[in-house]
Amino acid sequence: MNNQKKKELIKKHISEKPKLVKGLPSLDIKGIANYIKNGNAKKILILSGAGISVSSGIPDFRSPNTGLYNNIQKYNLSKPELLFTRFYFNLNQKPFFDTIKIFLEKDYKPSPAHYLPVLFNKKGILLKCYTQNIDNLYKKAGLNEDYLIEFHGTIKNSTCRKCNKKYLTEEIKNDILNNLIPKCTICNGIIQPDIVLYDDDLPEKMFEELDYNFQNCDLLIVMGTSLKVEPFPGMIEDPKDNVPRILINNEIVGSYEEELEERNGKLIEISKERLSKKFKFGHFFNTRDVFVGGDLQNNVIELVKELGWEDEFNNLIDNNNK
Ligand code: CNA
């Protein structure tokens, strides 16, 4: 193709900036709120991570200076993720139990972000809420368990690694807080809270309905996650191309550029098709991806205000706290 032809083609593309997807008036909170208010979102999926519980008092993993990964340097691991592998747990349980103490030290309260799916469910527009969090705060906010998938397990329950006897973590909490490894009353095996470790298989149940939900959702809300732990990074690629996606987070993650940069120089290949499904914030061809930076709790409250559901939202929180 000669240069003149190329220029003409580029000009044609530029003058034909694609329209935003149906029902989405603008790429911001207002646009998403209008999309919902006008009845376009009846099957909302939420994907969330540790960032939504930071304001409740539980640190996330990867935030610089404050994340839990800052505190585990003392174990001299080549990378902090090792501490949460089954391999390492089998060698040495103490760092694991030390690190999870923080989840048991206080009676943490849900944040506004935990109440968002509760509100959507009340409005009949929540399809499912998938979380990587283990802190049980969605349930404390009153989210119906049928609408919640805790991908990485929950701190609430525990199991003996040897005989599978089930415990409530409340029963072994004092041992953990007193630096003792909790042991089974039946077989003396180690009792571990039901947190999924790297190398563990995720229960089949987690994947039930997953394809269906992602193919049928009409809005994806991602918040408080660095999208570093599979399968979440892959999950954002799954909604149909005409489905708006909003990322409410301190930093941009899961983006086309980030992915390109990460893969650069590495042997890991990512297909063009997958790459094309990453977030396209700021791109000329972005027709549906909204990034809202800054504190996510303020932005959740802003979204609820834009929806005009503030009173109902506040009542919901007040009633749950009574
Ligand atoms: P992460 O990797 O620590 O990422 C957290 C993300 O949230 C980062 O992108 C932050 O920038 C962002 N963030 C933090 N605070 C705010 C805020 N106030 N406003 C906006 N953005 C914010 O955590 P992920 O969830 O992505 O990683 C998955 C791990 C973390 C899972 O295995 C979890 O079990 C594990 N984890 C869970 C909890 C919990 O249950 N509360 C706490 C710590 C770690």
Ligand 1 atom with least separation from CA of 251: 11
Bridge partners of residue 103, in order along the sequence: none
Residues 240-265, mean pLDDT to the nearest whole number = 86
CA 91 remoteness from chain centre: 29
Q: Bigger pLDDT: 273 or 66?
A: 66
Residue 267, pLDDT score: 43
Residues 208-212, mean pLDDT to the nearest whole number = 89
C-alpha of residue 51 to centroid of ligand 1, in Å: 4
Q: Bigger pLDDT: 267 or 273?
A: 273
Placement of tokens 């890991």 in the chain: 268
CB of 136 closer than 8 Å to CB of 52: no
CB of 130 closer than 8 Å to CB of 46: yes
Residue 85, pLDDT score: 95
Ligand 1 atom with least separation from CA of 68: 43
What proportion of the chain, given as a percentage, has pLDDT over 90?
76
Residues 188-204, mean pLDDT to the nearest whole number = 93
Q: Is pLDDT above 60 for 258?
A: yes
Go through 284-317 and write b for each residue having 16 or more CB atoms within 10 A of its CB, e for each that does not. eebbbbbbbeeebbebbbbbbebbebeeebeebb
Total-model pTM: 0.93
For the segment 12-44, what is each residue's pLDDT rounded down to a tens digit?
A: 666 677 899 999 999 999 999 999 999 999 999
Residue 64, pLDDT score: 87
In this prediction, residue 221 has a pLDDT band, given cuts at 50, 70 and 90, of very high
Name the residue of 52, 61, 100, 255 whose CB sits within 8 Å of the most ligand 1 atoms, as the mutation to test its pocket. Answer: 61
Is 114 an active-site residue?
no
In this prediction, residue 317 has a pLDDT band, given cuts at 50, 70 and 90, of very high
Least confident of 1-15, 174-188, 282-296: 1-15
Mean pLDDT for the chain? 92
C-alpha of residue 263 to centroid of ligand 1, in Å: 22
Q: Is pLDDT above 90 for 247?
A: yes
Neighbours of 186 (CB within 10 A): 11
Bridge partners of residue 150, in order along the sequence: 131
Instruction: Kindly state the tokens that stand for 251.
Output: 């930093």
| Phi/psi-derived region of residue 254, left when phi > 0, alpha when psi is between -120 and 50, beta in every other case | left
Residue whose Cα lies nearest atom 40 of ligand 1: it is 133
**Ligand 1, pocket residues at CB < 6 Å:** 49-51, 53-55, 58, 60-63, 67-68, 132-135, 152, 224-226, 228-229, 249-251, 253, 295-296
Residue 268, pLDDT score: 53
| Helix (H) / strand (E) containing 310 | helix 310-321
Residues 131-137, mean pLDDT to the nearest whole number = 97
Residue 12, pLDDT score: 61
Residues 75-85, mean pLDDT to the nearest whole number = 89
C-alpha of residue 225 to centroid of ligand 1, in Å: 5
Residue 265, pLDDT score: 52
Ligand 1 atom with least separation from CA of 253: 9
For the segment 36-60, what is each residue's pLDDT rounded down to a tens digit?
A: 999 999 999 999 999 999 999 999 9
Q: Of 13, 114, 152, 283, which residue is the catalytic one?
A: 152
For the segment 158-182, what is each residue's pLDDT rounded down to a tens digit?
A: 999 999 999 999 999 999 999 999 9
In this prediction, residue 78 has a pLDDT band, given cuts at 50, 70 and 90, of confident
Peptide bond preceding 80 in cis form (omega within 30 of 0): no
